[in-house]
Amino acid sequence: MSRNGTFAIAFHTLFVAFMLAPLVVVMWMSLTPSNLLSLPTTSFSLRWFWAILRHSQFIDAFWFSILLGVLSASLAMMLAVPAALALARYRFPGRDAFVALFLSPLIIPHVVLGVAFLRFFTQIGMTGTFIGLLGAHVLVIFPYGLRLVLAALTTSDPAIERAAISLGASQWTVFRRVLFPLMIPGVAGGWVISFIQSFDEVTMTVFVATPSSMTLPVRMYHYIEESIDPLVASVSTVVILLTFLLMAIVDRIYGLDRILVGKG
């Protein structure tokens, strides 16, 4: 018996089409031979992809975004793992307050965070520094990693840890041989989501980035302010294709269901 009726299949098809339509339009516009943002109807051209090579600022911003995303996601997960262990395995006064504090960047508008970071960095003399930008990104993406690690710990059975301790294993051995393998789906998924959030962040970054530390989304934002040619569409298409390629490689090697859903 089919689990989904005709209405459910039609609804999900329309939903997926609605979500993918903007990506398809952007990729389609990147193939236009025109000098303006328009959908090609009679001919297609790769001229705007070759134009990327003549704009080194986009290439530099791309590699800077990669570096910033990798470092910020790694630091965020290094903080999320011990924080999740403390919140999931221990009960102490003020625990709920710490949970609310750690997750508060999810509910604070990024415009407010950007203004606050700009003011704070100006006061301590860190305006425009890479360390300041890295710290801001870590703070913004930290809740995403924390939530996924907490979810992995919540679904794991604490009895396994107690059994390992009763057999003589030390706390470090229990963490390394028992607990951390159970957390790997949450840690891996948290790192991927954190990296994506860091790479795509623009609202907060535009306040703290400088010409020497400008990410790709901010570079594209400033370029759109000055020009309306399809170069931004071609850059967006390259990022979209690289993202699909990365997800395919991860799915091939490790499995997206294990990372995002936690299946064994």
Q: What is the pLDDT of residues 178-224, one digit of tens each?
A: 888 888 878 888 888 889 889 989 889 989 888 888 898 899 888 88
pLDDT recorded at residue 258 = 59
Instruction: Please name the CATH architecture into which domain 57-261 falls.
Output: Orthogonal Bundle (1.10)
The DSSP line for 34-86 is SSSS---SS----HHHHHHTT-HHHHHHHHHHHHHHHHHHHHHHHHHHHHHHH
Q: How many CA atoms lie within 13 A of 236 on its CB side?
A: 22
- pLDDT category, 4, cuts 50, 70, 90? low
Domain boundaries along the sequence of the chain: 57-261
Give the separation between CA 144 and CA 100, rounded to whole angstroms: 13
Residue the block writes with tokens 């600022």: 57
Q: 37-42 — which CB contacts under 8 Å span 24+ positions?
A: 37/228, 37/229, 37/230, 37/233, 38/230
Q: Taking the mean position of all CA atoms in its chain, how far away is CA 81?
A: 17
Instruction: Give phi and psi for 213, each to the nearest 5.
Output: -140, 65
Give the separation between CA 166 and CA 188, rounded to whole angstroms: 29
Give the separation between CA 120 and CA 85, rounded to whole angstroms: 30
CB 66 within 8 A of CB 199: yes
Q: What is the mean pLDDT of residues 129-152?
A: 90
**Total residues found in the chain within this entry:** 264
Q: What is the pLDDT of residues 218-246, one digit of tens each?
A: 998 888 888 878 888 899 898 888 888 87
